[in-house]
A = this chain, B = another copy of it.
Amino acid sequence: MELFNTENEFIEWLRAKALNREHRVKAGIGDDAAVLAFRNGYEVLLKSDMSIEGVHFKAGFHPSRSVGHRALARSLSDIAAMGGTPKFALVAIALSVRSNHSWLKSFYQGLLALAKRCGVAVVGGDTAVVSQATMVDLVVAGEVEPGRALLRSGAGPGDAIYVSGWPGASARGLQLLMERPRPSRRFLIAPRGRSTAAGFRTPFSPRHALQSHLYPEPRLALGRYLLERRLASAAIDVSDGISTDLCRLAEASGVGAIVQQGLLPKPVSLELRETDWLALALHGGEDYELLFTVSSHKVPLVPRTFQGTTLHRIGEITKSEGMRLIGPDGRERELQSAGYDHFRKA
C-alpha cells in the first residue's frame, strides 16, 4: 500500500509533522530555502539539494567538474531566489566505487571554483564509498536581513511576471550533449570569468546552450538587487521549468498567472521549430534563472538588463487561480506544469 500518491502529498504530510510553525522558522519546508531566526542577528538560510548519478547527471554526459559546479549551483540558486547571501556549504558525497579519485578531485574543483567566486566557505560534510551510483547532498547556509527574504508567497493580482536570461537554454544544452556526448573540449572546462552562462552574443547557440547546462550561473547579484531595491513581491528560481516553478509561486501566493507566448524570450535567428523551442522555454529545467513578480507601480523601475542579463517581462498574475498561456493568435489555453515528480508513477 502506497501512502503518498505524489511528492506534494508527502511534503504536506511532513510539513504537518515537522516543527515548522515554531516562531523561529520564518520559512520552512515548501519555500526555496528555510529562513531561520538565530538570536539577535541576521536570518540564516539553509538549503539541501541532492545530485544523483542517473537522475541529475550521467557519467557519460557530464564531466565531473560540471557535476560539482551544478551540485552547488542548485543550492546557491535557491539562496539567490530568496535575495540572500550564501556563506557556508556542507558536501555529503557517497561516491561510487566505479568512480576514481580523480573524478572526485575534479568534482570538488568545479564545486570549489564556484564556491570561491561566490564567497562560500565549504565547512564540512560527510564522505562514503558505495557499490552503487554516486550521490551528492549539498547544503548551503546563507543569511538575509530579518524579515526581508523574497518568498514565493508574496505575488498579488496585477503583478507583472519577469524571468531573467533565456529559459530553455539548459535543456537545449542537454539535447546537444545527448546527440553528441563528447563535445569540444572547450565546453568541458568552466570559464574563468565572473560569469559563466551570461553574456553570450547568441543565446541558444550550441556554445551558450552547453554552458547554460554544464555551468549555470546562480543569479545571486540579481536576487540581492531585487531585495535591496524592494522590487520583487515574490521570487522563485527556475529549476524545473517555467511552467512548474510559476505554478509553485502562484499556488504559494493563492493566485493565478497568464503567460504571453509572444513575450517569452526567443532569440531572433533560432534554428529550432517553434513548437520545439516553446517546449524548451516553458518546460525545460535546470536554467537556474530567477522568476519574479513586480507590483504594477514598480514596473517602470525594473531595468531591461542587469549585469548583462536581460530581464524579460512575460506575463501577469491574476486573481483567479490556474495558469493560462496566450498564443500569438490571442487564443488562451491552459498552461500545464510538466515538471518531474519523484513520487509519481511512471
Task: Please give the residue numbers on chain A whose beta carbons come within 8 Å of chain B beta carbons, in ascending order.
Answer: 1-4, 7, 10-11, 13-14, 17-20, 22, 24-25, 28-29, 33-34, 36, 38-42, 44, 46-50, 52, 54-55, 87-88, 90-92, 94, 100-102, 104-105, 108, 112, 115-116, 120-133, 135, 137, 139, 141, 143, 342-343
> Which B residues touch A91, using CB under 8 A?
48
> Which B residues touch A137, using CB under 8 A?
48, 50, 92, 126, 137, 139
Contact of A135 among B40, B129, B135 (CB under 8 A): B135
Docked pose: A21 CA to B145 CA in angstroms? 25
Contact of A50 among B36, B38, B126 (CB under 8 A): B126
> Which B residues touch A120, using CB under 8 A?
19
Contact of A130 among B52, B101, B123 (CB under 8 A): B52
Query: 3 smallest A-B Cβ distances: which pairs?
Result: A41-B41, A137-B137, A34-B123
Can you list 19 residue pairs at the A/B interface with Cβ under 8 Å? A1-B101, A7-B127, A13-B105, A14-B108, A18-B123, A20-B121, A24-B121, A29-B123, A36-B141, A38-B87, A39-B42, A40-B40, A46-B124, A48-B139, A54-B131, A129-B342, A130-B133, A130-B135, A137-B137
> Which B residues touch A38, using CB under 8 A?
38, 41-42, 44, 87, 143
Docked pose: A24 CA to B42 CA in angstroms? 14
> Which B residues touch A87, using CB under 8 A?
24, 36, 38
What's the least CB distance linking A4 to chain B, in Å? 5
Known: A90-B34, A121-B25, A124-B34. A143 touches B39 (CB 8 A): yes
Check if B41 sits within 8 Å of A39, measured CB to CB.
Answer: yes
Check if B124 sits within 8 Å of A342, measured CB to CB.
Answer: no
> Which B residues touch A121, using CB under 8 A?
18-20, 22, 24-25, 28
Docked pose: A88 CA to B20 CA in angstroms? 10
What's the least CB distance linking A35 to chain B, in Å? 9
Known: A48-B137, A54-B131. 19 other contacts (CB 8 A): A18-B112, A19-B122, A20-B121, A25-B121, A28-B124, A29-B122, A29-B125, A34-B90, A34-B123, A36-B123, A38-B143, A41-B41, A44-B44, A46-B139, A47-B124, A48-B124, A49-B126, A50-B92, A55-B128
Docked pose: A92 CA to B343 CA in angstroms? 15
Docked pose: A161 CA to B304 CA in angstroms? 65
Check if A124 sits within 8 Å of B33, measured CB to CB.
Answer: yes
Check if B4 sits within 8 Å of A101, measured CB to CB.
Answer: yes
Check if A1 sits within 8 Å of B47, measured CB to CB.
Answer: no
> Which B residues touch A126, using CB under 8 A?
48-50, 137
Contact of A105 among B3, B49, B116 (CB under 8 A): B3
Q: Which residue of B lies closest to A109 (CB)?
A: B17
Check if A19 sits within 8 Å of B141, measured CB to CB.
Answer: no
Check if B46 sits within 8 Å of A141, measured CB to CB.
Answer: yes
What's the least CB distance linking A66 to chain B, in Å? 18
Check if A112 sits within 8 Å of B34, measured CB to CB.
Answer: no
Q: Which residue among A91, A116, A137 has the maximum number of chain B CB atoms within 10 Å of its CB?
A: A137
> Which B residues touch A55, using CB under 8 A?
128, 130
Q: Which residue of B lies closest to A74 (CB)?
A: B126
What's the least CB distance linking A6 to chain B, in Å? 11
> Which B residues touch A18, using CB under 8 A?
112, 115, 121-123
Contact of A48 among B2, B4, B92, B116 (CB under 8 A): B92
